[in-house]
Structure 1
């Protein structure tokens, strides 16, 4: 636990999955404002055009002008080759001056919310969802931690972008709730096993994103669908910027219990 609040995140290697849009894109922008010169970003997503647009934006920012290195990895993380390409790019971007490795596990998909649990009889369909949303997060995290092992002067922070769905069941959201719950426990175990690593399960709240639009239009359960529609209609959705500001506050204060689930409304 830090004695005093930090003013920056150090000279960092920051890896962000799902960085091309939404919350991941905002995290990249905000972290770029808080790192020291010489830092490196590895941005990961399946959408190459949006990723390269973010790369250009960060390159033109104050951080970019101060020497921020920004690399893009266009990859499908449900494929082991995608995970390997991220790790290789990180190793190439790492320099001796970097004193903080930050991994943001943000990439996720909503899954099919038009059906209820009893309809999921196809094991390949379920395996495909879990591969992207659970297996890839564990394998990428493990490989990054192996590539950058504990040593004096190197901080390591692992962030899992979680959800209320990790804690509470939502009818017709069996895939998403299962994936979020599994990831949450995965990172809680990591925190228990590796006390030198700072692990955070951050729930960003109901964000005004493409995923929320799908939630209010595709969700099979009428009560759940109405709750999302009402939040949108009543202006209760949060911007990615509002939520990300709370995440940055948590990282700078560095007082959270490693492995904890922290909701935006708790900050």
Structure 2
């Protein structure tokens, strides 16, 4: 277990959280990693928070203007040198053993693409007691049903793709677009253990938010996946159904991990 892991982190106005996110990477029991942060022209203290770390494994790039998470992730992926690619948003957290356990799991299962369970925390990192899982194995057809993996839990082997992964420049759902692309080459396996913490910020959910998601889901299927109007509409409806199903089956309250 000595291969380099490239960790992809886009950032935008997360000065309140990013130090804790970076520290959760530094605290990893697996030490052979590079953290590539691409800041999307933040207007708060984000950049200063990043610069406060003096670890040669951390590299920061800054966009000259706000361009969206997709372009930031693409820049980081272009710079990535690792055998393994992992993702962590700049307000989320990892458990210290996240990388070591996931790499061991993938090597033992000969998996090229995997994700883990995660728990939800609030804006001050307080656990909400909600743990989210998903299907044990996600093939391409099932990935169209719903975006099952949490971005902060995903890892894949860089060499499964003929070229470095690059995402279509869409403002929303660019993580979903990545998983759909990856499932062209590999199935996604679940490591059924809680190894990450997903931050829920106050006021982030609204009726308009869900209506916006429907629009962006349609654009993903129609414009990125090049599906017909009818099939794109069917996929959106299926997403709504499986989103409800996920909350019933895979999102539960537990005691402990």
> What TM bracket, shorter-length normalisation?
0.3 to 0.5
Please, what TM-score do these two structures have when normalized by structure 2? 0.37
Q: Which structure is higher in strand share?
A: 2
